[in-house]
Structure 1
Amino acid sequence: MTLRKAPRDSLQISMWSETGLMPQPRGGSHHALLTIDADRLDKLSARLISRWQRFVQFTPMSETNRPREKDPYKRHADLSGRPKSEVLAQVTDLVREGGYLLTELLAGEDEDGGLPRFRSHLLQALKYQNLRIRFDSPDVGVPWPMLAVGSESLLADGRLTDDPFRLFLGYRHQIEATAGAHPDFWWVANRGHAVGSANLDDDLKNVPLAEDVLGLLRNRLKLTERRFSHDLLPELARPVLDEDLMYFFCHGAYEEQGGHTWHALRLSDDMPIDEELVNSFRKPYSRAPDRLHKESLFHPLIMLNTCFAGAPATTGLSGLSAAFVRHGALGVLAPQIAMPQVFGTEFAYRFFTCYLDKRMTAGHALQTTVRWFAKNYRNPLGLTYGMVCGLDSRITTSQEGTADR
């Protein structure tokens, strides 16, 4: 599906299917002009992300309106021991918010009935399960996995269901967005032992399961560990950075200057690593003409386990995720909120178990991980991890792999 700006800041939406789930029009795709404009869609996307941030900061109150405990959802990844009605109410509210954004995105009428037809076809398709969906929206950022379908009954009567998780798009389907970036080649490693790196902030080494994640990576990869920008940046400056997986577990925050805001991460030192810094080191090797004349290789799947690293509504189209993909990364997985550290390590461990041990594709591994947390921990935060490209990325053995540049 594509979502692009049209004249006068309106938005044009189009979609097509290779599975026969919807009628095939003569032009090959369904399309419509939306009534919502880009500014309002950006605002609603930012609002949805903010609502999920409030979920993290939830504090249960006593009958006298005093806090009973502080930030239980921030301190614990496993919410299965919390009162069932409490968690159900919180997750149901997130479903309502995700359904509201999807409803507003598709709301409206037009003279030829194109928008109502489009809306009907899209909503019907989204109600299926286990589709593989690419959202190509270079002009606006939407937190697609956190949108919800079929929430009308919740809005109508306020009832709580035992499984509101199943209504989120990121639970139902394998989803990737492009953020205006596309890998210009595909790579599947052809070697006996995959190669990767862990790029870390030592301040986070004592977070529960942080060492377990490192142990898993050390056992499954030929692993390089970096803890400072002066370790990472010279590697980015090399034309060949031949890693199949790059993992970042560090702090991320917004930088602000002169009315402009952008995202940056930091390892164990104070150097902010942002989109433009990555560009300055990789751009000489990422232009298509250069590839014809010199060896240039950068093809990892990257996990940025860093606060806000994948948030589209607040960083616009700029950001580290899209920057890495533009320079050759197969895909980037990153949270769209300020992620609790204890959940971040749990999520990374489960995802890498699926991706490295079970050899799932990244899209299948992400969906499996999201569903695992919903079923076992009753925690929806896996849905805040968005994937920019990389749905089909996978780790292979030397017998399975072929390199195709």
Structure 2
Amino acid sequence: MRRANPAEVMPFPWEVLFEGTEEDYEQGNPEMFWGMRYTPARILNPEKDITDYVLEQAQPSDMLFCLHHRLLHAHKKERPEIEKLVRVTAKDRFTLLGTACNLTNGKSCDPLGDDLLKYLYKASHNMLHFACHCKENRRGDKLLISFIQDEEITENGLVLELETYKFLLRQGKFLCQPLVFLNACQSAGGVDELRRTFNLPNVFIQHSAAAVIATACPVPDMFAAAFAKVFYEFFLRGQVVKDEITGEKFVKMMTIGEALRATRCYFLKEYNNPLGLAYGVYSPAHYRMNYLPYTISLELKI
């Protein structure tokens, strides 16, 4: 199961608020849920003006994909499907966390995550995707990420820990202000003061992440992998729509909020599955890709 952290002040899943009438409720009309009609965004750093957030992500795409080797669907489905979506042009990059990242400059890797955080601060990645485990402890939450040796997935691979506490010890800023997708397992904000105010989305935003997606309740591994793939389909490739007047089809590019809501609606419509309401934006919802002038195919396959 996967879950990621709620917001700083009010750990409440606004997406599940139901604003319909009693009749709508009795009929189970899913369109009355906020998350199917809007994209409520959480501003975790009230001291930061919303206009100071990054508006667009520069091309080319450069994703760092972090997984835990025991999550079968993350390895077999999530990783290859998302890699195909990221690699649109010859300049786009997709990197699996491991030896290709040069975390240690030839030295042994620190399993407590200090080397990883140093690497993340200086790396050129503009997207960080975490498909891994997350556990809570007395100092906050920590992500458990496998360090992949030469693209090989082994049963007893080295697992790195990236915890909220490390962000306090090693101050810094993300060089490329990335989009962070916390599709992580068993990571909940909780109601205690520490984990309500010092959670993963918060520390990523405080250290210059441009946008964060996380979940507010447990999500099955299979669904998490499928949901992430469809989200990137919308966010990186857009949505095919038809002009109401001419009837011509064109690709509409989407903000992070629009892509997230479209993904929720997709799973509700196609599979009658409302679990996409668990995913929320923990930053302004206007963030989007700054697209290069290449031709985008209308044949989107979700």
| TM-score > 0.5 by shorter chain | yes
| Alignment counterpart, residue 199 of structure 2, candidates 314, 319, 322 | 319
2:14 corresponding residue in structure 1: 144
| CA distance in structure 2 between the partners assigned to 1:310 and 1:399 by the alignment | 40
| Deviation of the 1:165 alpha carbon | 1.6
1:373 corresponding residue in structure 2: 267
Amino acid at match of 1:254: E
Determine whether 1:213 maps to 2:81: yes
| Deviation of the 1:383 alpha carbon | 0.5
| Alignment counterpart, residue 136 of structure 2, candidates 249, 254, 270 | 254
| CA distance in structure 1 between the partners assigned to 2:293 and 2:132 by the alignment | 35
RMSD: 3.1
> Structure 1 or 2: larger helix share?
1
Assess, with a 3 A threshold, how the Cα gap between structure 1 residues 223 and 329 changes in structure 2: closer, same or farther. same
2:93 corresponding residue in structure 1: 222
Matching of residues 323-342 of structure 1 within 5 Å? 323-342=203-222
| CA distance in structure 1 between the partners assigned to 2:186 and 2:45 by the alignment | 18
Matching of residues 124-273 of structure 1 within 5 Å? 139-153=9-23, 159-161=26-28, 164-180=29-45, 182=48, 184-186=52-54, 188-191=56-59, 193-206=60-73, 209-220=77-88, 221-227=92-98, 230=109, 233-234=114-115, 236-237=117-118, 239-255=121-137, 260=138, 262-268=140-146, 269-273=158-162
Contact 1:149 1:168 in 2 (8 A): yes
Deviations 1:160-204 (A, max 9, x none): 34xx2212111110221123364754253444x221210111222
> What is the percentage of aligned positions where both structures have the same residue?
22
Amino acid at match of 2:142: A
Assess, with a 3 A threshold, how the Cα gap between structure 1 residues 201 and 234 changes in structure 2: closer, same or farther. same
Q: Single out whichever of 300-309 and 324-333 deviates more from structure 2.
A: 300-309
Deviations 1:363-388 (A, max 9, x none): 00000000001111101110001111
Match of 1:202, SS state, is coil
Assess, with a 3 A threshold, how the Cα gap between structure 1 residues 214 and 350 changes in structure 2: closer, same or farther. closer
- Structure ranking higher on relative contact order (CA contacts 8 Å, 6+ apart): 2
2:153 corresponding residue in structure 1: none
| CA distance in structure 1 between the partners assigned to 2:287 and 2:188 by the alignment | 18
2:290 corresponding residue in structure 1: 396
Amino acid at match of 1:369: T
Match of 1:265, SS state, is strand
Aligned length: 245
Match of 2:136, SS state, is strand
Q: Single out whichever of 378-387 and 299-308 deviates more from structure 2.
A: 299-308
Contact 1:298 1:327 in 2 (8 A): no
Higher-Rg member (1/2)? 1
Determine whether 1:275 maps to 2:156: no
Which stretches in structure 2 are left out of the alignment for 5+ residues?
104-108, 147-157, 239-252, 295-302
Contact 1:254 1:263 in 2 (8 A): yes
Which stretches in structure 1 are left out of the alignment for 5+ residues?
1-52, 57-136, 287-295, 401-405
| Deviation of the 1:261 alpha carbon | 6.8
Where does structure 1 differ by over 6 angstroms across 4 or more consecutive aligned residues? none
| Deviation of the 1:264 alpha carbon | 1.8
1:17 corresponding residue in structure 2: none
Amino acid at match of 2:165: E
